[in-house]
Structure formats: C-alpha cells, structure tokens
Structure 1
Amino acid sequence: MKGTARAALAVCTALLTTTLTTAAAASSAAATPGQVMPGVLAGHPTREMSETARLADRRALVSGERAYAMGDETGLYPATGWHTLGEMGGYWTPPVKLLDGLWLGVNGSWLGKDVPAAAYHRGWGYQRFDYHSSGLDAGRVEFVPAGSRAVVVGLTLRSATSRTVSLAVDAHSELMPAYPWGGTTPSATDETPDQGAYAGGALVFTDTGTPPGQAKRDYAAVVAGSRAPSGHQLGKDHRGPQDPAVVCPATGDAPYRCDDSPFGKGTGGQLDYQVSLKAGTAQTVWFAVGGGDTGVGDAKATVAAALRDPEKALGQVLATRRQVAAHTSVDLPGDRLLQQSVEWSKQNLADSVQQARDLQVRPVNAGTAYPPAKGTVAKARWYGAGFPDYPWLFATDGEYTAFAAVAAGQSDVVKDHMRALRDVSEVLNDHSGKVAHEVVSTGDVYFGANADAGNTDETVKFPSIVALVWRWTGDNGFRDEMYDFATRNLHYVYDHLDADHDGWPEGLANVERPGMGSEKLDSTVYLDRGLRDLADLATSKGDHATAAWATGKADDLEKRFDDQWWYGGDAKAYADSIDDVADPANDNTKIFQRHWIGVTPMEVELTKPDGSTSPLSTAEHGLTALQQRETPCYTGDLGLYHTGTGPTSDPKGNPGASCDSVVSSVASDREIFSLNSSIMAVAEGNYGRLAADQQGRYTTGNARIQLDPSIWELPGAMPEIAPSPDFPANIDHSFTTRSMALQAWGTYGVLWPVVHQQLGVSPDLGRGKVLVVPQVPAGQNRVAGNDIVLGRGSVDVSASHNGKVWRTDVRSAGLHASVVAGAVLPADARVAGVTVNGHAVQFTAVPTSRGLEIRVPVGDKASVVITTR
C-alpha cells in the first residue's frame, strides 16, 4: 500500500476508535448535557456510531424483522427512493407502508427544523437523535420490538427548570403495498385514498379500497402514545414542518429534496399532550406506529402490545443484538478497522432480516402484467437486499450474503432465506427447478419466471448455498429438505439453458449490460461450483447416479474451461461472455468488456470428490488476472470498478487509464459496488494474497464506506455503491436517486475473508470434520476469533506468526466432530518440526492455492506450533 494510502487509513482508524469509544462511554454512563436518552440505554452498555455534520442530507434507518422506518438524520422525512418515486421511506411493515413520517414538536417548535438536531447516533438495533434549545434538551430514540409490526419512538425531555411543556405529534399516512410501483402495470397511481379517524386516544388510518385489477384491501395504521392525549386534530396535511409539502414531479429530474410523491393519497392527524417536567429530571413519553394488512383490530393490538412496556422491549432488543455481537468476535491487532467492520457487518446482517405473511405469488413480467396469483406462500423470512429500494427477497443477493451470514453465526436466517426462495420458485415456476430473481414482500415476482430469460447464475448458485449451510451446520434435515429442488436446479439449466449443448449455460447473469454474448462467465463459473457441490450432497446421501452425473459435467467443464474462456494477450483476463449476439453462427466467440465478473474464476472455491478445494482458475491465469485487476484500470481508492477502463469503441470514450490493447464495445463504469470489492477480496484470499496492497485494499474499501466518517452516509451501514469516479457520494445525490444506504451483500467481503481465509475455519460438519488452517496476513503478527458458530457448537481460533514460527491455538466446544488444525506457510517453506501442546507430531503438508497448508489432528484444546528452517 502506498504511503498516502497508509496515512489515510491511519487517520480513518483514529477517527473510528474515537467515535466508538466516545459512543460506548455515552451509552453506558449518565447522559451528558444536551444529550438525554431513556434509562434502559443509559443502563446497558451498547455500541454506537455518531454523526453531527450534514444531518439533513443523510438517511436514517431503524429496522426489525417485521417493521422498519427511514427518514433523515434530523428526524424529518424527505420523500425517498425511486421504485415508487419518493415512497420508499417512512414507516413500513412488509408488505405495507404505513406512514410518510412522524414529526415531534415541543412548545410550538418542530424538532429537526425549528430546533435543529445536534447529533445522530446509530446503535445496534436502534437509532437516536439529540436536540437542545435554551433550557430544554430532547432525545428521540426509535426501535422495533422483537417480532412486532410496530416502530416504537421514545421522546425523552429534560428541563433546567420545573415546567409543563406542550407536545405535538404529527403523522401523515400512506397506506400502500410494496408493489405495484410507480412505473408498473398496474401503477401506484391506482392507489385508493386513506381515511383518518381518532379513536381511543389514537390516530387511526385505513385503506379499504379496491384498486383496479387488485384485491380489496384491509390496510390500517395506528399511532398512539403511552399516555392519554390532551387533544387531537385531523386533516389532509400534518407533516410537521414539512407542510405545505413540496411534491416530487412524476417525471423528469426531481429536486434534491421534496416531501411527498405524486402517488401519495394519504391523510394526516395530530396528537397533543401536556408533559410536566421536574427540574433536571428526564422523562420519556413513548409512541408507537403499527399496523399492516389485516385490519384495524390487529393494528390496534399491535400498538397496544408495543406500548405495554417499551423500556423492557428495548432492553430485549439490546440483549438480542449483544448475542449477535458475541458470535464471531474477532481480534485483529494489525487491522483494527477491519475488526470493527466485522462487528458492524454482523449488525448490518441483523438489520437486514425481514418477514412477511401470505405472499401472493404472481409473475408480473418486469412490471408489465398483473395476472391472478398462482398460489400463496404462508410465511417468508429473508435477508433484505438493501434499504430503501431493495428490502425484498433476492436470489443473487442472498446467495452472496449467505457466506457472510454463516461466518457470523446466522445460519438459521440463511436456511429461511433459501426456503423462501424455494417456496416462491416452486409456485411461480411449476416445480421446474428455476429460481426466482426478485420477489417483492407482497409475493409479486418482478423477474424470474420460466418465461423470463434469466437469471441463470441464481439457479446454479442455489445448490452451493445448500452445501454451504450443510457444511457449516451438519444439518442433514436441511440438506434433505432442499435436495430435490437443488438437483432440479441444475437439470433445468442443462435442459433449457444450453441450446447449443456446449456445456456453457445461456441467459442473463449478474451483469445485465448490452453487447454481451448469450453465455456469461459468472454463470459458467457458478455452474461448475454448483455441480461440485451437488455431487458432494449426492454422495453424502448415497445418490450415486446424481453424484456421477454432476461430477462428469464438472470434469468436462473444468477440462475445457481455460481454453475457452481465457482471453489471452495483454488483456490478462478471462472473457466476460461468449457467443457473438450479432452473429449467432459465430459460436463461442470470446467477448471482453472488463466487467467485474472476470474475477469470479478466482473467487469460487470448488470442493472436489477427494475433499480438496481450489479455485476454478489455474494458478498461472488466476495470479495474472488478480494482479491485472489491482491496476488503476480496475481498482480505485475504495475498491473494484464495475467495468474497468481501456480502449473502447463506445462514443463515450475512455476516461481512465489503459492497461491492455483490447478495444471493448462498451464504456467503462467506474462505480465501486461493495459486492465488486467483496468478490475481489475473496478471490485474493483464495490465492493467499492477504497483504495490505492485495486483499487488504478491498476489505479496507468496504470497511471505510461503512465506518469512515469522512465517507459514510449512514454511520455503521455498508452501502450499495461507494463514492466513485462515476458515482458521487450518496449525500450529493437527491433522495430519490441514491443507491442503497445499507446493502447486505457487501458483508461477504468482510466476514468471509476474515473467518474463512484469515482464521482458516473450513467446516465439513455434514461429515463430522472441521479444518482450521489460518493464514496471518503479510505484515501482521496475529489474528484471532472467538465463538465462531459451527452447528450447535463453536470454535475459538488464535493464529500468530513470528519469524520462522507459526502458532495456531484452537478450542472447540460442542462440535461432535474431528478437528484438524495447522497454518498456511509460504509455498516454498521447509518445515523443521510441528508440535501439538508441546509434543512433536507427524504432520501432513498440502500444497494449495493459498500456499503450503500444514495440517495435524487435534483435540478440543490444542496449541499447534510449526517451525521452519
């Protein structure tokens, strides 16, 4: 890493350490002047990230499994998102939006506008805002109780003198489903108007209309407080300081910030309160926003339950998030930034979990149709891809996220995600084996039906995630539950997506860009991994016919792969696709466009019949391609570009460096997606390239966009796209044109490199085996991790390297598996001796793409010391 990059990283790490230390102290001690919070936060140590600059330009998010809310970091609610323009923020309970926002006013002054926000704090499972004016401090906290379809809001007030203050709570409804969107058929313009009422001290909003071509609704939202209001109002506005609303235009460029969309048909109301304060004593008034698609009665019950004991419910959320933090707790003294990214990535995954009930599965053909539902999925639970525009069930997103999730000890959610994909796909595609691409929480499938062209990569990846979960949990029941569908996945590809019978699958994949051939590199790569993993599953079940079929297909693909896909010359890369779409007769023509998928042959890990693992790429081509991707043509300050720079026939020309002479037909795209950097980080790790200027460049890029105050939008949340040469920072985009503030798949490039590659945890619990072979990154001395969950047990790992001595300490509990431990040495290392708990032992030396792996059997507690000559 260059000196300037090291200096920037040092500054970032210093800022990060200060932020975390300050936040932790504030949350575990008495509130400081100007900062007030409910007692449960002051009394329970937690972790926060805080922001004070440009709060009105930053999105704020609080999320639970059945509800979430997004506004800005002042506590106001700009119109947000673009799937239905401006309607993706506010308060949601999948699959229904409840409110555009909830605004709080004290003594006639609206918090966030008349009384500016002083600071925003994002904690594990909650968020809070600080406000202060002369003689009065206010703090707002928001969280989602476990399993609740409500968001709870607490307003804590503290006055320098004893007095009674007036409190106004404005709410503006927007009862609408997650689908249809603003530009689909039918459209969100077909929404029916909301009705508002006051009953039992609460605001009650309903939508019981029947939009054209859709079923009758029974949507309801209820807003209530923990005490009886002194008055109320109803009306069409009630957006606090955002009245009168600036409405986003239906077409054309939207302003940087507006207040509502042209689709909005909500209504509003206000609850008024009188709050008596004693001098210097903080008092919290609680509110809840709840509801859904099952009528007013359920909405009222939801809110009543949420307000029964809010402090206890918040305490339970904090306890649950501490459990999330306890699993895969790492110590990386040579890379504290990455260590903190691991901690926050686990929380990002927990933030992303969503649930819905009674999904009405229908293919909407990319928004052009709305047929009757083909069937119902009673319950689904999944990792939402991203907030605010992608909080739904996606195949490819979830399949990448699964690797991070198992490393974080969250395999149960991965199982539910895969079940949801299977259940929806089986209804949608008549048991064909094809996996749906994008499933809205309503059950509407935007893309991924049998009649659609793709996405092929998602179908071929499904067996690999089944195998991943089986290896990390040893859950034969889950393997058996998924096995038939996983087998049909790959048969579907060969039966329907290989028209020329050349073994390379056809159809769309991760890169949906023009000029590509019909057969994509990433689909081919993931098909090979899927075949190997299906063969492994089949062998474990004694299904020898399927194992032989999948193994034969994989052997054939691998034998021909490099000859067909390596582009050659100074491209130093694999082709992105083959088959010239302009000349279908010109079969197997290599097409090179510099897309990020060129890294996938190095990123996958293939499990061979003998149990060994390796990438698909050859060592020569893999290392050549990785080194090429590290050049300025492909890598920027914060990670890997979507499409590298170089000669092109595209009229846009080449804005960047040229590292090869190949003339591409497409323009470069120097957007840095967190997924692109994740793919590169994992690929580097597969080849043992863990140094700061190798894997470290990409793990650091993802960590910085999540944790560096000079870069982040939402503290502690990894976004979809980093600030890039071709994509300005999110806060410089309008609220309706931004990328996702939190995108789950970026955690793949943090948790998997640390747990699987640096700590070397490679379970095969389906066969009662665990391999722990760490590799300490070059330039560092030690890495460690505790409570890495494997099935019903766990493992602790500590690895160090000092000169000619490598040491690995392993402790396991509850595994019921044999453990083999060791370390990765340089490929040319010569071993002088190996001891386990001080006793010399025989060892096995295994050459791998990572280096020379030294392996020895160990017990539940062992110290392995390897000495080289």
Structure 2
Amino acid sequence: MSRKLVRIVMVAALAAIGLAAPPTAPALSASPTSSALSASTAQSASPSAGARTGVVGDELTVTDRLADRRTVTIGDRFYEVGAADGSYPATGWHLRGEMGGFWSQPIKLLDGLWFAVNGSWLTARSFTSGYGYTRMDLGGGVQRTDVVPDGNRAGLVGLRFDGRTPRVALTVDAHSELLKAYPWSGTTPSQDAVNLPDTGTFDGRDLLFQEAPNHYAALVGAQLTPAGHQLGPDFRGPQDPAVICPNTDPAPPRCDDGPAGKGTGGQLTYTLNIPKGGRTVWFAVAGSDQGTAAAYAALATALKNPDAEVARKAADRRAVADRTRVDLPGDPLLASSVEWSKQNLADAVQESHDLRLFASEEGTQSPPPAGTLATARWIGAGWPDYPWIFGTDGEYTAFAAVAAGDFASIEDHLRTLREVSDLVNDHSGKVVHEVTPDGQVYFGANDEPGNTDETAKFPSAVALVWRWTGDDKFRDELYDFSVRAIKYAVGLDADGDGWPEGSGNVERAGMGQEKLDVAAYTIRGLADVAAMAASKGDTATANWATAQATRREQKFDDAFWYGGDTHSYADSLSDPGNVKLFQRYWIGLTPLEAALPGGVPGLPGGPLAPVARADDTLTQHESGCYNGDFGLFHTGTGPTSDPKGNPGPSCDSVTSAAPSDRETFSLGSAVAAVAEGNYGRLAQQRVYTTDNARIQLDPDVWELPGAMPEIAPSPDFGSNLSHDFLSRSSVLQAWGTYGVLWPVVAQQLGVAPDLGVGRLSVVPQLPPGQQRIAGSDIRLGGGSLDVTATRSGGTGPGGILRTEVDRDGVPGALTIGAVLPATGARVGSVSLDGHRVGYQRVTTSRGSEIHVSAGTGGGRHTLTITLG
C-alpha cells in the first residue's frame, strides 16, 4: 500500500471516530444495511422513555441512563469494561466487583481511568458504539475515544479538544488492580486469599503499578511528559472515596471496588495548549504478567503512532463488515443485526500465552499443571464474566462464524479446545467445558461428569468448518480428536441403549440420565464423523460411525417423543426403564435445530425431527407457555409439583417436577429461529430473529448499543438495567449471533457448501411478503459468493422466482434452486441463463424445492422459475 493511500485511510478512520477533521480524504463508506432500524422498531420506541439513538454509518448512540450502562472495548490481547458515562463501577460476580476495568488476558491491570479538565471530572453526555471503538461526548468541546489495537497488550484512549479553550489543565487518575483471572471469589482458595497488594511508582513519564513477587505490571502514560504526579491508595477520580462491595449480598446499588481489591493509585497532570483547529492527546494503558520490560514494550508500541494503530483497527473492522453483506429490504432490522453481529464476533476473539493447564475440580483443587500451552486463541463467550474458552459456546458460535466468513477464529477456537482437552484429559477424547486464560479447567476433566453434549458437538463443528472452507488440512488436523471425541461420547452409555449419559445444555437437577440434546447431537456428530471419514478413505471409521448413527436415528423418535397434549419431545430419559421426563426446557427444540449432513448412506439429510412432529412442537413452542416479549423461555410454564407453583399459562396437562424459568436467553431464541428455518417456517422464524435483533438494536431495550446480550428482558430476570452491576448477565454474548447470521445466510439465502467433497448448493427461500433478498461477498473456501433471490408476479400462475448466483474462486459442482412458495405450487418452466433446462423437484423439510445443476465453472448464473 502506498504512503499516500495509508494516509488517506488513516485520516478517514480518525475522522469517522471524531479524532481528526478530514481534509480532502474520503470518509470510510457506511454499510447500506446499518443505516437505519426497521420501521416497526422505530415506531415501538416510546417518546417518553428518554432513550435516544443516532445511527450514522457504522455507529449507534445513546444518551439516557449512561451511568447504568456497561460498555466494552475489546482487542484480542486487551479489553476494557466500564460504564457509558466514563465511570468504572465495580462489576461482575466471578471475581466479585473485579470483572470490569482494564484487562490483558490472563490478568487485570486497572480498576479504571478518569479524566478532569480545569478541575472538573469529565462525565459523558452521550455514548457511541462503533465498529471496533467507543466514543463519549464529555461536554465542553471534549470527546473521548477508546480503541484497542489487536496484537498488543495495550489500549488507547484519545481525548479530542475542539479548540474552544486555548489552555487546559488536564488531570488523569488511575487505580490499579493487578490480579489473575483465577481463582474466583467462591473457589478454594479464593481471590481474597491470593490477591497481593500493588505498589505504584512514577518513572518520570508514566505511572507504573506492580504486584510482587508475581511479575504483574501495568503502565499508564501518554506521548507527553506530565507537569506533575501523585501516588497514593485512592485516585479514582469522582469515585473517591471508594465504596467497597461487601462479600455477600445485599450490596449497595453501586460500589467502586471488590472486597478482594488491593490496588493502589496515581495521578498525572498536564498543561495543554490547544490550537483553534483542536488537538487530540493519546493515552495508553498497557500491561503484562511477564514483567515490566514486556509492559513497557506494549506501551511503546501503542504510543509510537496511535493514528496508525487506529487506522489499522478501522481497516480490519471494515474488512469484517465487507464480508457477508446482506440486503433485506423487507427486514432492515435483521439486516442491521447481521452487520452488528459480525462485529460482535470480531470483538469476541481473544488470545493468551503460556497457559499452565490444570483441572480445578470445580474450583476446589490446585494440582500441578498437566501441561502447558504456548498460545491459546479463541472466541470468548461473554463479557464481562465469561470472556473465556468454552466448549458448547464455541460450537454454537461456529455456525455464526462461518456464515460471517470468519474461518480463522473458529479454527483457532477448535484447535485450542483440542489442545487443552488432550493435555488435561490425557487424550481421552473428552472435551473440557470451561477454561480460564491462565489454564484453569473449571469443569470437564475425565473424573468429572462434564457436559456430554459438547463432546458430541465437537466433530460437527469441525465438519462444519471443513464444509465451508474445503480445507482438508484442517479436517486432517482435528480428525483424530473428532473420532476420539465421538467414541468417548458413545461410550458413556452404561445401560447400552444407545443414549449417552451426562449433562447437556440444561444443567439442572431432577433430569434423567439421558438428555434430549445430547442424544440429538450425538447422532449428528456420528453422521459428521462418517462424512469426514469417507472423504479421507477411512472406511472402517466411516462404516462404524454410519452404523452407529443409523441405529440411533431410526429409534430416536420413538425413544424421545412424549406426545399427547405436550406436542413435544421428552427433555430426558430416566433409568431404569428409559422413563420419559417432560420438563419444558428450551432443549425441546434441539432435534429440530440439529441437521444431519447429506450424503451419508442410509441417513436422511436435514433436521432430525420428522416434519409432522416438528410442525406440531414448533407450534406449541410459539405459545405463551414458552415465549415472552423477547423470545423463548429457558423453561416453559405449565402444571408443576414445585412449591413455587406455575406463574404462567398452561398449554398441556403434564405435571412437571421442574419449576418454570421465564428467563429468555439469546441462545434459546437462536435455536428456535434455526429450528423454524429448518422447516421453512420463515414467518415464524422472523419472530425470533426480531427478538434477538431488538435486544441488540432497539434503544428501548439495549444496554450497550449494538451488543447481543446473554439474557433478554424477561419475566423472571427483568433486564440487565434492572440489576446492580454485580448480578447482571453478559452485556455481550457471542452465541446469540447464531440466531441472526445462520438464518439469513444458510436458510433464507440458502447457501449450503460441502466444499470438502466438491459440492455447493444455493437454494434460497424468500420470507413471506418479501420480494427480494440478497447477500454479497459470502466467503466460501478461498473465494466468495453473491446471491440474489427475487419474486415477482405473485405466488400463483405467472409468478416468477429468480435466483442469481455469482461465484468467484469457489470450486465445486453447483446446484442452484429455489424453495417454491407453497406446497403444491405448479411449475410452468425452468431456465438457466436464458435456456430452458431439466430440473429436479425435491421435497425437503423446508418444502418443495427446484434444483438445477449449474456445473463447476465460476461466474454468474441466473435460474428463472415461472409458476404454472
């Protein structure tokens, strides 16, 4: 790239985030689908609510309740959690009150960073989320922008002064809290016992905080030499004197430090001359668990050329935005959610080095390390309390990642899971559940029950990535572990009935030994192993896995269908006797969400549940017994023997021992959206995609604009804003994006690659009432795909369905098609690229589909179906 072009990109990036006035350089282009919310969402906003949103290009702005809103600014080696007014309340529960502030995995560095101008502490009047940055309007012509460059253990804070005040006295307070991500507040030992006091010094330019004898160090500095400094136990800006959170509830509505806190503080002061055109001053926070030299190197890198670092971050996030661009004229809210969901996934990528791996037996043991891992890279589950490595979270998020074209991050996540699992579990094949970035494995060692579902799902995640990339090398790298994983899961079958014992996604007492979701994902995992084995020529494994999957698939429905007026599957089977237990958990939809691969002999491709039963249970789950204003309940309502009673309606006559739980998780709504799409029920799917999009983009609902949270507003949870900072769900949770990206790309646009065996299918389904949907730069292998699906002339005779596919560098035999608008629709003629062609009419779970072979060449193809 030429120096001139670098300068243009840099200036445009700085202008986009308000840190520089652009001369003649063009601004970064805004995504056409992120410029407005849907009309229905705009109309739902209450004028009296006080919430304000501004959507300018790639930004979302909020002005109300800023002190109550958590914010996150994230890079792969460093992140920051604070509040939208510029304060840093004590946050989180894993490390009580310590999950906020500034972190570089695996340690925390600071509780916070505060600024004052001419003796007055700055408080934000508005807060803006952008692609890879956050910005605050601090009043008086001052803006603050936080950016975390990737690849460095440092974050940048830029203060932009607009020039209305020619001379400014600037004060910066910083308060340290050097501690490790583990142990937690409730483990043995606890963080209270192991956290050591910090010390603070001034090196002539920067504040340096250290914790000895650990080699933890944090630095705060700028490109300027301060005029003065102070050191002491406080220095929390307007949060002095600090309110310390108690060890147990009740807690005050807001506190400033956790009970295990042993940090210290410092202050830097500067006198700034501000020209009429304004001036930006850059500060950096940096740190390391490898001593002061590493921390100083990180600080120097961040401050060497902050403008270039910001431009690089902006360019990286524009590249994320430029993949999987969608145009959904009939559902602009969902299109906007696709854009922000891609950014949420990019935010979630983390990296840690030199992990010393040990199993803590749910926080009760501290054995010697089972091994070390030089580098771990993963998609973090959620902020601020779950920015760690999880099995099941990543396996759901894999579907969103491939749809977004982010192959590298999910590949790294799966490699990390494999490495940790093999070292801690001695190559048994069992997948660990939860791993902190220092190497502590909280749950999922060989001698613990673990979660069987994530071991069964691992091979499917590998096969998914292989199908979208066609990368046989990646398949081969994780093949051995995938085979061992599915064999381990199948082996957890004490009564030999084919259904593995162990926990699934619902970790609740009172369930039977054999869980519905575990059974469904085991069948899918076996089918995926069979497909990978066949492609490798491993006939013995392919035959074994096919036989195992076929036997279970053939008896699954009889084993788990509960029926009657439940219209649903049993949540689990209780031994002895495989007694069906019906408890209304959200996992009742997993047999409809889990799809088997095509091409495995003897196994039907597509979702596990038969169409008739799927329609029956989907309709039941759309009722008020299972759904609230923002999606699927964790546990539906109905008759129960639990002393809490039934707080909601009853839609069946079965008395469950489990109480209802009307919390709405973004994952549950995602699974529901995918299940609906698997059966072509796109009108019903839109309810769930809208639910997840609204908690991300509706100003009456969001906590952090643009971020998909863990739990939506719901009857038994309230909302994150109704909780104190110590008891909220994650403000950003990666797995909810599954319910946005996959329904659009894989179901509505119909992109179904199987590049590992040289096949690609594109069979779109237009949602009811919509005339056009499109996606461009959908990444497949080393190339990309553009898809446009249109409908004209109605759904009766004379109506036309058109599918346009343009592929660039995507190999394989292409099948192009469309889902007909209704069962029984007649086809008058079919043409490909203007020539009438033969076609296949195929009945799938989505309905009646027209399939046409379009050969193996690249370029553009247009399929036209005229209805008879």
1:147 aligned onto 2:151? yes
1:536 aligned onto 2:536? no
Which SS does the other structure have where 2:304 is aligned?
A: coil
Equivalent residue, structure 2, for 1:60: 71
- C-alpha distance in 1 between matches for 2:541 and 2:403: 29
| Offset from partner CA, 1:263-287 (integer Å, 9 cap, x none) | 00111101110001234x2111110
- C-alpha distance in 2 between matches for 1:848 and 1:14: 43
Trace 1:59-138 onto structure 2 (pairs within 5 A): 59-112=70-123, 117-132=124-139, 136-138=140-142
Deviation (angstroms), 1:145: 1.3
1:220 aligned onto 2:217? yes
Deviation (angstroms), 1:447: 0.3
Equivalent residue, structure 2, for 1:234: 231
| Offset from partner CA, 1:251-270 (integer Å, 9 cap, x none) | 12222210001100111101
| Offset from partner CA, 1:525-562 (integer Å, 9 cap, x none) | 00000000000000000111111111111111111111
Among 221, 239, 252, which residue is 1:255 paired with? Answer: 252
Which SS does the other structure have where 2:267 is aligned?
A: strand
Equivalent residue, structure 2, for 1:169: 172
Q: Is the 8 A contact 2:490 2:522 kept in 1?
A: no
Equivalent residue, structure 1, for 2:434: 438
Equivalent residue, structure 2, for 1:182: 185
C-alpha distance 766-12 of structure 1, shift in aligned 2 (>3 A): farther
Equivalent residue, structure 1, for 2:865: 866
Q: Is the 8 A contact 2:432 2:445 kept in 1?
A: yes
Among 448, 472, 497, which residue is 1:452 paired with? Answer: 448
C-alpha distance 695-378 of structure 1, shift in aligned 2 (>3 A): same
- C-alpha distance in 1 between matches for 2:52 and 2:841: 42
Q: Is the 8 A contact 2:53 2:63 kept in 1?
A: no
Q: Is the 8 A contact 1:20 1:47 kept in 2?
A: no
Deviation (angstroms), 1:368: 0.8
Deviation (angstroms), 1:161: 4.4
Trace 1:245-324 onto structure 2 (pairs within 5 A): 245-279=242-276, 281-324=277-320
Q: Is the 8 A contact 1:13 1:336 kept in 2?
A: no
Equivalent residue, structure 2, for 1:500: 495
| Offset from partner CA, 1:684-736 (integer Å, 9 cap, x none) | 00000001xx0001000000000000000000000000000111110110000
- C-alpha distance in 1 between matches for 2:230 and 2:44: 48
Deviation (angstroms), 1:20: 12
Equivalent residue, structure 1, for 2:817: 822
Equivalent residue, structure 1, for 2:650: 658
Q: Quick one: which amino acid aligns to residue 207 of structure 1? A: E
Among 309, 313, 326, which residue is 2:322 paired with? Answer: 326
Trace 1:190-589 onto structure 2 (pairs within 5 A): 190-209=194-213, 217-279=214-276, 281-495=277-491, 497-579=492-574, 584=575, 586-589=576-579
Deviation (angstroms), 1:21: 9.9
Deviation (angstroms), 1:477: 0.2
Which SS does the other structure have where 1:423 is aligned?
A: helix
- C-alpha distance in 2 between matches for 1:588 and 1:286: 64
Equivalent residue, structure 1, for 2:778: 788
Q: Quick one: which amino acid aligns to residue 862 of structure 2? A: S
Q: Is the 8 A contact 1:463 1:487 kept in 2?
A: yes
More off after superposition, 853-862 vs 391-400: 853-862
Trace 1:26-65 onto structure 2 (pairs within 5 A): 47-65=58-76
- C-alpha distance in 2 between matches for 1:736 and 1:856: 56
- C-alpha distance in 2 between matches for 1:259 and 1:678: 35
Equivalent residue, structure 2, for 1:37: none
Deviation (angstroms), 1:226: 1.2
- C-alpha distance in 1 between matches for 2:203 and 2:504: 52
- C-alpha distance in 2 between matches for 1:732 and 1:805: 50
Which SS does the other structure have where 1:301 is aligned?
A: helix
Deviation (angstroms), 1:612: 6.0
Deviation (angstroms), 1:229: 0.6
Trace 1:635-784 onto structure 2 (pairs within 5 A): 635-691=627-683, 694-784=684-774
Deviation (angstroms), 1:504: 0.4
Equivalent residue, structure 2, for 1:39: none
Q: Is the 8 A contact 1:396 1:457 kept in 2?
A: yes
C-alpha distance 99-530 of structure 1, shift in aligned 2 (>3 A): same
- C-alpha distance in 1 between matches for 2:388 and 2:589: 27
1:839 aligned onto 2:835? yes
- C-alpha distance in 2 between matches for 1:453 and 1:234: 49
Which SS does the other structure have where 2:498 is aligned?
A: coil
C-alpha distance 59-744 of structure 1, shift in aligned 2 (>3 A): same
Which SS does the other structure have where 2:96 is aligned?
A: coil
Which SS does the other structure have where 1:505 is aligned?
A: coil
Q: Quick one: which amino acid aligns to residue 274 of structure 2? A: L
- C-alpha distance in 1 between matches for 2:62 and 2:42: 20
Which SS does the other structure have where 1:307 is aligned?
A: helix
TM-score, normalising length: structure 2: 0.93
- C-alpha distance in 2 between matches for 1:269 and 1:188: 24
Q: Is the 8 A contact 1:13 1:337 kept in 2?
A: no
- C-alpha distance in 1 between matches for 2:297 and 2:752: 46
Q: Give the total of aligned pairs.
A: 816
TM-score, normalising length: structure 1: 0.93
1:614 aligned onto 2:597? no
Deviation (angstroms), 1:742: 0.3
Which SS does the other structure have where 2:756 is aligned?
A: helix
Gapped regions of structure 1 (runs ≥ 5): 1-5, 25-45, 210-216
Deviation (angstroms), 1:14: 12
Q: Is the 8 A contact 1:61 1:69 kept in 2?
A: yes
Q: Quick one: which amino acid aligns to residue 374 of structure 1? A: A
- C-alpha distance in 2 between matches for 1:233 and 1:13: 47
Equivalent residue, structure 2, for 1:32: none
Deviation (angstroms), 1:13: 9.2
- C-alpha distance in 2 between matches for 1:555 and 1:255: 57
User: Alignment RMSD, CA only?
Assistant: 1.5
- C-alpha distance in 2 between matches for 1:551 and 1:352: 36
- C-alpha distance in 2 between matches for 1:166 and 1:680: 55
- C-alpha distance in 1 between matches for 2:306 and 2:52: 26
Which SS does the other structure have where 1:724 is aligned?
A: coil
- C-alpha distance in 2 between matches for 1:7 and 1:630: 24
Deviation (angstroms), 1:23: 4.1
State percent identity of aligned pairs: 58
Equivalent residue, structure 2, for 1:810: 805
- C-alpha distance in 2 between matches for 1:448 and 1:405: 24
